[in-house]
Amino acid sequence: MENVGPMLDPTRDPFGKYNGKEAGYVLRMLSGEDAGGGRSWTQALEEKFCEKVGAQYAIACNSGTSGLHAAMYAAGVGPGDEVIGPGLTVVMDSYAAVHLGGVPVFADVIAGTHAIDPKDIKRKITPRTKAIITVSLQGLPVDIDPIMEIARQHKLIVVDDSAQTLMGRYKGKVAGTQAHIGVYSFENKKHMTCGSEGGMIVSDDADLATRARKFAGIGYRHMTATAGRTHLAMSTVQDPDYLRFDTIGLNYRMNEVSAAVGLAQLERIEATVARRRKVAAMFLEAVAGCSWMVPQTVSADVVHSYYTFAVDYRGLDSRGVAWKDFYNRYLAKGGDGFYGACKNPYLEPAFRGKEYAGYRLEPGLCPVAEALQKRIMQFKTNYRDLDEARGKTRILAALIDEIGR
């Protein structure tokens, strides 16, 4: 892969999102070149991803959401099966279960980490429970070991949604690889992207990986855990008696252009994540000593990858400053805003008030998650200019000083 073709000018924007080998790889792909060794660009991306994260199998797909759907299928979720997930996350985790006829069940979260509470998982398990979906929010890996032990005791499959946590680490291993199935997102704002959308499923279980690949690959019966279809003689494929499909699947496959972009992005992922961590360190410095802006609790077992820098904002009770007032004051001083947390999934209009197998989605299911959702502030970490990031964090520090730490 030495001949990468044209590159964007790194002097124009040294931290530019596409200033690596993206353009060269795409032009090579469009010119009919493979990724080397007769491999497709998608296969090359899957193999490199396995190497980067330490997984046995990887299946590239066209989005993180489609990856979740395929992972839920691989886990065996079907009509009436309950899937326990966190009460603080995006709705897509529940969509994946519902589209398979499953029942979304919500467990509360731990306020310090914003992640699902293993104790509440235990309380929510019933004879109909089939799987658990964990979510590592804002780049902080979920404490997966106790959840895997619960799953072992009850013979459940764990799917770890690590869409926001690429290259975060839990006990030395890349987050997302310790569950039965892990899912990552390459949407445009994530740590790496495929140009707009993309995703990856990982597993160390060949059966789960094969099931996920077949579901995401229209159900071709000769697909395997590793590289799509096995090599078949053309005389076999061209025979009118050749049987192609043994699984009812969907076309969630990643296209070759996206894979070429993703491969170039993956080659620089360590530097990209390191830059986000540098920005997060600036924000940590800015809020240090402030009792009413509480960052996520980061234990010694984990390495945060900082998709965003998130705090639990308690300024209303402590200083009489409402969330929105703080937001407006930060903007007025030259800050560029921050995001609130997504509404608890069962309170979104798509779900609120609906009932699944007698389980009604309504306020009060997860009190900690509902209260926390209203307080979270998420500051972006994907600044390309570290001096600009430093300026924003200084604005934040000055506003905190003005209100009183």
**Domain CATH for 170:** 3.40.640.10
How do residues 24-73 score in pLDDT, each as one tens digit? 999 999 999 999 999 999 999 999 999 999 999 999 999 999 999 999 99
Residue 357 to residue 374: CA distance in whole angstroms: 29
233 and 206 together in one domain:
yes
117 and 190 together in one domain:
yes
pLDDT classification of 236: cutoffs 50, 70, 90: confident
pLDDT classification of 241: cutoffs 50, 70, 90: confident
**Which among 90, 188, 171, 140 has a CA at the least distance from the CA of 306?**
140
Longest dimension (CA), the chain: 77
Burial class (CB in 10 A: 0-12, 13-18, 19+), 189: exposed
Residue 254 to residue 216: CA distance in whole angstroms: 9
- Domain end position, chosen among 214, 235, 268: 268
- Domain end position, chosen among 233, 268, 303: 268
Residue type, 345: P
Mean pLDDT to the nearest integer, 182-202? 95
pLDDT classification of 5: cutoffs 50, 70, 90: very low
Mean pLDDT to the nearest integer, 253-257? 96
Position 13 in a domain: no
Residue 46 to residue 21: CA distance in whole angstroms: 17
pLDDT higher than 90, residue 368: yes
pLDDT classification of 231: cutoffs 50, 70, 90: low
185 and 316 together in one domain:
no
Position 16 in a domain: no
The answer to whether 126 touches 120, Cβ cutoff 8 Å, is no
**Strands 129-135 and 103-107, bridge-based pairing:** unpaired
pLDDT higher than 70, residue 265: yes
**Which among 40, 7, 65 has a CA at the least distance from the CA of 268?**
7
Catalytic residue among 190, 214, 380, 392: 190
- Which helix (H) or strand (E) segment holds residue 85: the answer is strand 82-86
Position 5 in a domain: no
Whole domain around residue 251: which residue ranges?
22-268
Structure tokens belonging to residue 232: 């078949």
Position 260 in a domain: yes
316 and 241 together in one domain:
no
Residue 190 catalytic?
yes
What's the distance, Cα to Cα, between the start and end of the chain in Å? 53
Position 17 in a domain: no
Give this prediction's pTM. Answer: 0.93
The domain tally of the chain equals 2
pLDDT of amino acid 238: 79
How do residues 130-153 score in pLDDT, each as one tens digit? 999 999 999 999 999 999 999 999
Residue 379 to residue 139: CA distance in whole angstroms: 12
pLDDT higher than 50, residue 6: no
234 and 317 together in one domain:
no
Strand runs labelled E in 73-165: 82-86, 103-107, 129-135, 157-161
230 and 277 together in one domain:
no
pLDDT higher than 80, residue 2: no
The answer to whether 59 touches 200, Cβ cutoff 8 Å, is yes
186 and 296 together in one domain:
no
Position 163 in a domain: yes
Position 363 in a domain: yes
Q: Output phi, psi for 181, to 5 deg.
A: -140, 135
For residue 50, give the 3-state DSSP assignment.
helix
- Domain end position, chosen among 268, 284, 307: 268
Position 4 in a domain: no
Give the CATH number for residue 397: 3.90.1150.10
pLDDT classification of 232: cutoffs 50, 70, 90: low
177 and 232 together in one domain:
yes
123 and 140 together in one domain:
yes
Mean pLDDT to the nearest integer, 78-96? 97
Which DSSP state fits 230?
A: P
**Which among 393, 391, 344 has a CA at the least distance from the CA of 91?**
344
pLDDT classification of 1: cutoffs 50, 70, 90: very low
- Which helix (H) or strand (E) segment holds residue 203: the answer is strand 199-203
Helices (H), 31-125: 41-53, 64-74, 92-98, 118-124
pLDDT of amino acid 10: 40
pLDDT classification of 340: cutoffs 50, 70, 90: very high
Q: Output phi, psi for 281, to 5 deg.
A: -60, -35
259 and 306 together in one domain:
no
**Strands 223-224 and 355-356, bridge-based pairing:** unpaired
Mean pLDDT to the nearest integer, 98-121? 98
327 and 184 together in one domain:
no
184 and 161 together in one domain:
yes
